[in-house]
Structure 1
């Protein structure tokens, strides 16, 4: 295996992408483009510091160390799960905000994990060797087994402190091993009131101007003490000026810029439309539940926020794919690759696999992926049941999520003491069971098996009223007891998971064999053609791994109107109406006279980001934090498929606003001193 981090600055990449486009791996930075556009050439020490100062929140966001005592800066919306898990009807930390006045007051998040990338290793040859000549189930099993061996050897018995993931890049053209330092003792330090962290709510989401203090602070702990970290960023309150180089180091979740035209058509016509329909119904359900009173609204708050966000994202993606010019460009790109390739077979076989996807769509989603059972109770039951079956097997033969390298994270989720609300779970489960029956039909054998003549409401109530899986101690007892304990359990959710397991596994296996394997094997072939034509001057699609994007602070022109790149704190008070979602918390109203209202608050830049980048630091050439990425503008929603520098913008909290708020609104001078802003000494 070849360690490749050292190649990060040795390889002068010939960039074929447009300026500012790209989410680049840190072992393949666009150094020529950076030097040409901004006279900046990061050396190996700069890259290593940026890599080890950047943090991944395992639940799906980014962050960064901002002190040598494990203090982590991220978005408020990235830690909603932690804050809500630490809240109750009596102490609503999500809506009232939280500031730890000392280390003793920092609260352990119920199920948070932080990952810090340590090294990248190329394992492409190992994967290629074991999968050579294989297809279908044989291909999937060979690949999964080798991935398991690689990850297990990397973890080397240190699963509590080390995480290792084999990552597929360039649609399978490369495979790299990412080794992380793992922190599972993560504590809440600061979270603003929901109404200021999410100021403007859904109406302002993916728009600009914005006025959000979407920031939060966590702390990584080791052995019960704040973690001592060698690498961290400092905040520079001066921020960045228009035209100044800005870089985002974060963990973008998934882009689909290298999909074939047939795959994009399936995403447009099947995935997005069906997802939007389901999300629209779920949004209405959660809004209705929230109207049941303050406690009901609190219970549903984070679910409703993320459902509204997902709906807006998918709607924007669909609108992007409905643009005929987009597909015309994608067809031209594909035609060029087909001409350069020896055969069109890879594209044709991927197109055939899309027909299988369409056939399997609802059964695979509802039963294979178990989305017909929208309840944390069922999630727990499925983990317990499959864990009992999978863990006794040799590691390489298990389902990937139950292999040794991933068990630590799985156990953290299972043992979380975050509260579960029976009434809320009943409402969600009733809705998903209703959709299950509607989408597969009353006469479907599995529907009949699950319902047994009962209504969705009656079945959901029976399951929730009879379960003990809301008790973390009971879940831990069953997990520690292994297969024997789970087999002996008569918990209704475990019985349901047991009844569905064979069919769920069969659907998953068929999908992997007839869709994943076909797409994966042929994507590797297309990747070889792409490499031959462009080399690694083309960045890979996002994979929730550490990437760097570069750009600059810049507004844009919207229908003849110039959009300025900055807002100021004073604009927050001007925008406030006193009614949600434009109501400010009392603490901010009281602090107005203390604040410098001309302080820059939010800003936009041309950095290329996507979901998963939330919480990413925006840094300058000195590796100083000048902002905190939390959103994109409405034009960025097509960023899953392409990048348009004229319109796509990243929206960030300005570094000066973060310091101003901590100091003058929250009185957290101890945190400001720990962060040690540039120029404060």
Structure 2
């Protein structure tokens, strides 16, 4: 009997250990759900020190960076630390062929030298609260999804209005657990954000696409920005009179280094996970959606690269777009492989079989009896549509002229149909849109991408095509080169000058016949299409998905205890944790990498693995100062087993005392299925060691004045 009890106890402990690192948690729930577990792993902070409404806390040092990444405030003068790839587009925008900050790096020696990109903002989290009861009391399961949505949206508008304090704050009410709970979030946005420093691309993007999602890794993926405010510390549009933000809270930086099993938590804005997704949804992604995404992305990347390699100015134009496409190209390919290897669909089907058995019980049948059937029916009806949608998505993400004519044309149509007084009011906005629309593009590249993407869509889609694509494809054997070439010559949308000429003599009939406007309109309409035959199945699906999640939680059949990520502030926690030994890594243990390992990867004149001579000299000199590890090495990257996803890029990795020890920037390809399932054994977060960041700023870039701003902890 004693042996059985001990075995059960060991099993419970192993389950607890396996689950400890999983989850992206709300800060307001930390005390109730996670604090004791975190303390046992090494956390020294109280819940109040992490999240407080009334006092300054750790959450005040975390910002959402430009809507898609995370950053941290690391000085009392508003210094912002994020990933190089998060600041990539801003750095590219501020670069020219003559002063190529993306390629060569940039370090402002004074505040006056800090550079303002056209559009960049950070978002501070103020508070959150649960409004589930308030919202859900207004709806019931007998309503259609459209009726339900209208009522909920009306109440959301009220909640947002009640909490924005006259427009001072941005308020967002978001659904969780597939609409079974609702929370509101209050934010404050600062729009004057300036570039302070960035390493050269050979450091910030070392390893390129080859090393992306791989370990061992040797990437200095960081950049520094600064938040500016008006004289009263309030958000303001850019002005030379603005001053650095006096931060409410900034994170201290610890250079004592990391060791295996050290506690590590990550605060950030994870973009999206699908841990609650049904089995057939995963199968649709693996067999239909993701393969189309991968194929379309690779096509655009190959065309872009051809032109980018020929001309540095073209390279700067498309560097950010290419990097974004390449990142998700590899991600989606890895997802297909990982979800297949993990047999994720089969595992989810087993859970759903148990759910069906539970749902068939008399007490549950009326509410849950048709849930799985409705869900599976919807996916079977939309598999081919999902495939086409991803081919379209690949085109819309990579082809400027698949989107621009429709977006700009909508404003031009409004202008053409307006009276003189209305035109006078519309003109400044349209002129501004035109100026922004015709920056940085290379017409031959754009023409080839659009033609090839149309050909891919026409040959690979088994779902009804946009009319023009179908007609031209049948006429030309799905070769769109001649059609696109003639359309580019005929259309007004291929140059700013032609569009401005239209403004001088606006004519809605001319616009309606423009070939690129017609094509772009059909592509966007097809992408957004909600066909009538799917109206009822989609209604049933949305209701059933919500009920599935509700039922899984109610029955206890799911071991997930947290909502999917949706770009709201979350905390994940775990430990510094190695992967199995790897002969490619020269470090003493396979939880970190070294400068030596980076030098071993060095390939002269290689676009991914080249290094500046100064970097090679620095390795020979080995002047690592206080940033060396216990073995006299310079640590580059390290691993933790935190649960993160896209949007966590730039998140600070924080020790038990609330001090920055690193900067999250990637995950490992072995756990690429992490957006759908958490692999407790293989899932890792790849982080830049903060000591490498500081060495690059201090010793390599000779920008010690920046390091002097920080609160440095050296135990």
Q: 2:610 aligns with which of 555, 563, 583?
A: 583
Distance 2:266 2:275 in 1: 19
What pairs up with 1:432-511 in 2 under 5 angstroms?
432-440=453-461, 445-447=467-469, 456-461=480-485, 466-467=491-492, 490=511, 492=514, 495-496=517-518, 499-500=521-522, 503-504=525-526, 507-508=529-530
> 1:488 deviation in Å?
9.1
Distance 1:197 1:638 in 2: 26
Distance 2:414 2:138 in 1: 23
Q: 2:445 aligns with which of 408, 424, 427?
A: 424
Q: Where does residue 405 of structure 1 map in the other structure?
A: none
Distance verdict in 2 for CA 1:414–1:40, change over 3 Å: farther
Instruction: Say yes or no: does 1:249 pair with 2:267.
Output: yes
Q: Where does residue 634 of structure 2 map in the other structure?
A: 599
SS at match of 2:51: helix
> 1:138 deviation in Å?
3.6
- Tell me how large the CA RMSD over aligned residues is: 3.9
Distance verdict in 2 for CA 1:443–1:430, change over 3 Å: closer
Q: Where does residue 144 of structure 2 map in the other structure?
A: 135
Distance verdict in 2 for CA 1:473–1:121, change over 3 Å: farther
Instruction: Say yes or no: does 1:240 pair with 2:267.
Output: no
Distance 2:323 2:184 in 1: 34
Unpaired runs of 5+ in structure 2?
1-14, 230-235, 416-428
Q: Where does residue 333 of structure 2 map in the other structure?
A: 315
Distance 1:412 1:623 in 2: 44
Instruction: Say yes or no: does 1:526 pair with 2:522.
Output: no
Give CA-to-partner distance per residue, 1:90-124, whole Å, 9 cap, x none: 32221111112222111112332221211112232
Distance 1:390 1:337 in 2: 52
> 1:617 deviation in Å?
0.3
Instruction: Say yes or no: does 1:214 pair with 2:221.
Output: yes
Distance verdict in 2 for CA 1:497–1:150, change over 3 Å: farther
Distance 1:452 1:219 in 2: 54
> 1:568 deviation in Å?
2.2
> 1:432 deviation in Å?
2.5
What pairs up with 1:38-49 in 2 under 5 angstroms?
38=42, 40=44, 42-48=46-52, 49=57
Q: Where does residue 120 of structure 1 map in the other structure?
A: 128
What pairs up with 1:110-509 in 2 under 5 angstroms?
110-132=118-140, 133-155=142-164, 158=167, 162-222=169-229, 223=236, 224=239, 225=242, 226-323=244-341, 325-341=343-359, 342=364, 343-361=368-386, 364=389, 371=395, 374-384=398-408, 415=436, 419-440=440-461, 445-447=467-469, 456-461=480-485, 466-467=491-492, 490=511, 492=514, 495-496=517-518, 499-500=521-522, 503-504=525-526, 507-508=529-530
> 1:162 deviation in Å?
3.2
Instruction: Say yes or no: does 1:33 pair with 2:59.
Output: no
Q: 1:66 aligns with which of 57, 70, 74?
A: 74
Q: Where does residue 7 of structure 2 map in the other structure?
A: none
Q: Where does residue 403 of structure 1 map in the other structure?
A: none
Paired residues of 1:632 and 1:648 also in contact (CA < 8 A): yes
Q: Where does residue 75 of structure 1 map in the other structure?
A: 83
Paired residues of 1:416 and 1:472 also in contact (CA < 8 A): no
Q: Which moved more, 1:524-533 or 1:436-445?
A: 436-445
SS at match of 1:110: coil
> 1:130 deviation in Å?
4.6
Give CA-to-partner distance per residue, 1:577-623, whole Å, 9 cap, x none: 32422211234234442632612221111111112211110001221
Paired residues of 1:385 and 1:494 also in contact (CA < 8 A): no
> 1:301 deviation in Å?
2.9
Q: Where does residue 395 of structure 1 map in the other structure?
A: none
Q: 2:573 aligns with which of 543, 547, 550?
A: 550
> 1:502 deviation in Å?
9.1
Paired residues of 2:635 and 2:691 also in contact (CA < 8 A): yes
Paired residues of 2:375 and 2:541 also in contact (CA < 8 A): yes
Distance 2:669 2:455 in 1: 33
Distance 1:642 1:608 in 2: 10
* Count of aligned positions: 641
> 1:65 deviation in Å?
1.0
Q: Where does residue 3 of structure 1 map in the other structure?
A: none
Paired residues of 2:280 and 2:345 also in contact (CA < 8 A): no
Paired residues of 2:697 and 2:703 also in contact (CA < 8 A): yes
Distance 1:651 1:564 in 2: 12
Paired residues of 1:206 and 1:631 also in contact (CA < 8 A): yes
Give CA-to-partner distance per residue, 1:295-351, whole Å, 9 cap, x none: 444433333333332222112211122126434432333334444442342222111
Distance verdict in 2 for CA 1:297–1:517, change over 3 Å: same
Structure possessing the higher radius of gyration over alpha carbons: 2
Q: Where does residue 20 of structure 2 map in the other structure?
A: 19
Distance verdict in 2 for CA 1:164–1:663, change over 3 Å: same
Distance 2:457 2:196 in 1: 41
SS at match of 1:507: coil
TM-score by length of 2: 0.79
Paired residues of 1:372 and 1:433 also in contact (CA < 8 A): no
Distance 1:486 1:156 in 2: 44
Give CA-to-partner distance per residue, 1:223-273, whole Å, 9 cap, x none: 332222202212111133221110011111111111111211212211122
Distance 2:154 2:410 in 1: 18
Distance 1:318 1:113 in 2: 34
Give CA-to-partner distance per residue, 1:26-60, whole Å, 9 cap, x none: 12222232234436563223223222211112342
Give CA-to-partner distance per residue, 1:431-490, whole Å, 9 cap, x none: 333334334589862425788978633454456565468769989x99xx9xx9896994
Distance 1:102 1:413 in 2: 34
Distance 2:712 2:81 in 1: 13
Q: Where does residue 394 of structure 1 map in the other structure?
A: none
Q: Which moved more, 1:452-461 or 1:42-51?
A: 452-461
SS at match of 2:454: helix
